[in-house]
Amino acid sequence: MRIVLLGPPGAGKGTQGERLARELGLKRLVTGDMLREAVAKGTELGKKAKEYMERGELVPDELILAMMREALAGADKFLLDGFPRNLAQAEALDRMLGEMGLDLTHVLLLDVPDEEIVRRLTARRVCPRCGAVYNLITNPPKEDGKCDRCGAELVQRPDDTEEVVRKRLEVYKAQTEPLVDYYSKKGLLVRVNGVGSLDEVYERIRAALS
Ligand code: AMP
């Protein structure tokens, strides 16, 4: 399977995608994580991407496409999370896959209403050490403020403040949402209701893919 996970920030793409990729044996490519790692390491890409990310805007396509071309090389079963994010990226992805003799098998849209997104993202906490993701409302850590997996102190992503979340939602609607139509026309779109417990949503995804 070669899957694109689509949906607004905070729809649950990270959490659901991690489980799906593990159970289906797919290589998981998460552009947000790749960029955050580049920022943390202070690479050339990271230096260029940082300010866009802090503002909740998209990082320029040329940087993203170079990064993804490299990441996709040699992959034949994968799950993409956070890419493509606009039409130009979707068309570039089609070209890249075409050159590799591959195509997408599913585009999975996780549907979550705006108010729920703002509520979820401002309650999101992440582990700076191992990358685990929690939600104070829907998926809290066992011990307050501490990572279940590695014990590190949890933090809030700098772009999860209410102001930046609203900006990211605006960017999603203007630039990413047109992809719903793009992939629908290609007959690839599968829509899943992203509201519910983690297990409920996961079961819907599995059912939609089978
Ligand atoms: P995410 O973790 O997917 O919400 O991504 C965090 C931030 O990384 C976004 O707000 C963008 O600034 C940047 N980003 C991630 N993926 C892309 C992409 N495909 N194109 C442009 N910018 C991206």
CB atoms under 10 Å from CB of 42, counted, come to: 10
* Residue among 36, 50, 120, 124 flagged as catalytic: 124
Average the pLDDT over 130-154 and give the result: 93
pLDDT (0 to 100) of residue 159: 86
pTM for this predicted structure: 0.90
Q: In the structure, what pLDDT confidence band is assigned to residue 158 with cuts at 50, 70 and 90? A: confident
In the reported structure, the alpha carbon of residue 60 is separated from the centroid of ligand 1 by a whole-number distance in angstroms of 10
Rounded Cα distance, 162 and 18, in Å: 25
pLDDT digits (tens, 9 = 90+) for 19-50: 999 999 999 999 999 999 999 999 999 999 99
64 lines ligand 1 (CB under 6 A): yes
pLDDT for residue 188 is more than 90: yes
Residue 118, token pair as written in the block: 């703002």
In the reported structure, the alpha carbon of residue 108 is separated from the centroid of ligand 1 by a whole-number distance in angstroms of 18
* Residue among 13, 28, 120, 204 flagged as catalytic: 13
